[in-house]
Amino acid sequence: MTARPTLIAVTFILSLGMMGKVGVRAQDNIPGMEIPQDLIPEGANVPTAVDEGVDHYDQDGFPEDLIGLLVVDTSPVGYMVYLENIADPFLLYAQFVNRQRDGVFLARSGTIEDPLPNGEVTVIPYGYGALKTNTSYVSLVEGVLLPHISDNQKEYQRFVIRDLYLGVALGVTGLLAEIQYVHAEHIFGYANVGINFLGGVGGDWLAPLNYYRVPVHLGAGLRYPGLLEPFIGENHWGIGAELLLGVGDADQDQQTSSFVWLPGVFFEIEKRDLFGWSEGWAGFRPRDDYREDPRPFNYHVRSLYLRLALYLNIQDGADTGYVGFDAGLGFRYNLIGPKIPEHEFKETRVVYLNDEYREQIHLQLEKRRQRIEESGSSQQ
């Protein structure tokens, strides 16, 4: 941000000025830092304005285009502004841009429609986020006390919501630890590993799910907003395919397999707003100050889910049956949430400076230097 170097330069000069006349003269070149010589990235000393005709005048008589930017004409001495009902133009002295974060959206539960001042809406699709910024251009015109301030220009920088979840589940196949990656709230993949409490028990009725000690689940699927909202509130459904692997001999039977593999399909119902979980911040630590921490309240997610699975026992279905069943209840939490684009909460930059206005700034700085010298002399 450009404001901090400016403040540091001014404070430094004032401190030297209080030391006496010699200190001020030795630092005469420092105030020049307050006048930018390089106006990148906003432009090569060109105002953000248009010269394609006036759409309307604001309440102060400044000409504006359809979206509220200042309308200017070019001339050999710079850019000119024709105020309403005044024949002769005014010289555009300077223009500044102020950009500030206006919000961060995460469309986790469906499409978000954000209304704009003109009545239109900006759509943020399900599974995406958006960094919303508000930009205003402030223009100084010769001989006019009030500056022109453009209509707020809204900008949206979209990004994909990506989450890494950790969780735990208890089901027919055992107590499981889960890690899951979710892309754009739609596509997910997971891996579960745990302990099979039913290993070695249940006989043929549970076979082959009781053959092994350690279950490993590898799966992937699609997630979308559920259809039961009128009955249970906001919910998400997931469907996909899974491979269940079982290792470690649990039943100590030489006639059964110590390694089991079962392909299958699953269906999952997820509920995120139990116990008021969706109403506030869900991070382990409190949020930092909003100026430094852009994460919205729904950045972290806590949820309970019910997963039902059917497996096809190709390995030894002729002996134990071709269909296996699993049901489990679990909890998950996204330890790592989406990456929000880098930005400053608020920044002000110089877009344009006319040479005449530069001279006036130098003159003001010279008067200021003389005032500090006189003040220092009077204190001696």
What are the residue boundaries of the structural domains of the chain, listed by start? 3-161+341-378, 162-336
Pairwise CA distance, residues 215 & 178, whole Å: 12
User: What band does 379 get if pLDDT is binned at 50, 70 and 90?
Assistant: low
**Angle (deg, nearest 10), helices 3-19 and 355-378:** 30
Q: Once rounded to an integer, what is the mean pLDDT over residues 166-186?
A: 96
Q: Once rounded to an integer, what is the mean pLDDT over residues 288-296?
A: 90
- CB-based contacts of 200-206 (< 8 A; 24+ apart in sequence): 200/250, 200/251, 200/252, 204/320
Q: So what CATH class is 162-336?
A: mainly beta
Q: What is the pLDDT of residue 284?
A: 66
Q: What is the pLDDT of residue 23?
A: 36
157: tokens are 């920088």
> Do 211 and 260 meet the contact criterion of CB atoms below 8 Å apart?
yes
374: tokens are 């006189």
For residue 238, report the phi and psi dihedrals to the nearest 5 degrees: -135, 140
What mean pLDDT value characterizes the chain? 84
The residue assigned the tokens 């209080």 is 18
Render 76-145 in DSSP notation, one character per residue. TTEEEE--TT-SS-EEEEEEEEEEEEEEEEE-SSS-EEEE-TTS-EEEE-TTEEEEEEEEEEEEEETT-S
Beta bridge partners of 135: 99, 153
Q: Where are any strands of DSSP class E within the chain? A: 56-57, 63-64, 73-75, 78-81, 90-106, 112-115, 121-124, 128-141, 148-149, 153-160, 162-171, 174-183, 187-195, 212-225, 236-249, 259-271, 302-312, 323-336, 346-353
Percent of the chain at pLDDT exceeding 70: 83
Q: What is the pLDDT of residue 10?
A: 34
Percent of the chain at pLDDT exceeding 90: 56
> Do 239 and 267 meet the contact criterion of CB atoms below 8 Å apart?
yes
User: What band does 137 get if pLDDT is binned at 50, 70 and 90?
Assistant: very high
The residue assigned the tokens 């024709």 is 82
**How many Cα atoms sit within 13 Å of 216 on the Cβ side?**
8
User: What band does 211 get if pLDDT is binned at 50, 70 and 90?
Assistant: confident
Residue scoring higher pLDDT (90 or 199): 90
User: What band does 112 get if pLDDT is binned at 50, 70 and 90?
Assistant: very high
230: tokens are 């009128």
pTM of the model: 0.78
Classify residue 295 by its DSSP letter. Answer: -
Residue 136 has pLDDT above 50, yes or no: yes
Of 167, 165, 153, 41, nearest to 100 by C-alpha is 153
Residue 135 has pLDDT above 50, yes or no: yes
Residue scoring higher pLDDT (19 or 292): 292
Burial pattern 109-135, b for ≥16 Cβ within 10 A else e, equals beebebeeeeeeebebebbbbbbbbeb
pLDDT in tens, 18-40: 333 333 333 444 433 445 555 54
User: What band does 374 get if pLDDT is binned at 50, 70 and 90?
Assistant: confident
Work out the angle at residue 282's Cα, subtended by the Cα atoms of residues 276 and 286, and round it to the nearest 5 degrees.
Answer: 125
Of 301, 367, 380, nearest to 31 by C-alpha is 367
